[in-house]
């Protein structure tokens, strides 16, 4: 009898903030976030299904998906959207939702929050 866990579609969350609305800085932060998300969860490129990005309204100089393409993710379906403009929300924030196929259980996935986004999910271990 095999104890192998079947592949499942899972979602992995992450977020970061930027200090300035400049393409090079946004690219640096988005690449750092995606790299950390994929490495910490041992996600292979072929297991990526799609990635959704949202940005707060104060990020206007580029799409985060363009940053993802710089790291070889151009063949993965990428989508950008505007985050809800909520009073008291984290400014200059990029949020990411990665859909992936994995044998890991939902509880084994490590969601990643960097820079000024670290406090968005205080229920997650550091």
Residue at 2 is within a domain: no
Residue at 101 is within a domain: yes
What is the layout of strands, in order, in the sheet containing 8-17? 78-82, 48-55, 93-102, 8-17, 112-113
Beta strands in the chain (DSSP E): 8-17, 48-55, 78-82, 93-102, 112-113
**Mean pLDDT within 43-64:** 97
Residue at 7 is within a domain: no
Q: What pTM was computed for the model?
A: 0.90
Residue at 72 is within a domain: yes
Task: Tell me which residue range forms the domain holding 59.
Answer: 19-119
What does the pLDDT look like over 81-118, one tens digit per residue? Answer: 999 999 999 999 999 999 999 999 999 999 999 998 98
Residue at 39 is within a domain: yes
Distance between CA atoms of residues 64 and 26, nearest Å: 7
* Domain of residue 33, CATH code: 3.30.1330.40
What end-to-end distance do the CA atoms of the chain give, in Å?
A: 37
Number of structural domains, the chain?
Answer: 1
């Amino acid at each position: 009898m095999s104890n192998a866990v079947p592949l499942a579609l899972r979602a992995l969350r992450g977020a970061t903030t930027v200090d300035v609305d400049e393409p090079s800085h946004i690219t640096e932060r988005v690449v750092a976030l995606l790299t950390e998300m994929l490495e910490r969860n041992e996600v292979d490129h072929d297991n990526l299904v799609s990635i959704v990005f949202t940005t707060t309204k104060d990020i206007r100089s580029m799409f985060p998906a363009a940053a993802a393409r710089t790291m070889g993710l151009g063949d993965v379906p990428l989508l950008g959207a505007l985050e809800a403009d909520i009073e008291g929300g984290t400014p200059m924030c990029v949020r990411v939702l990665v859909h992936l196929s994995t044998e890991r259980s939902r509880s084994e996935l490590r969601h990643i929050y960097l820079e000024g986004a670290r406090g968005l999910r205080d229920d997650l271990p550091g």
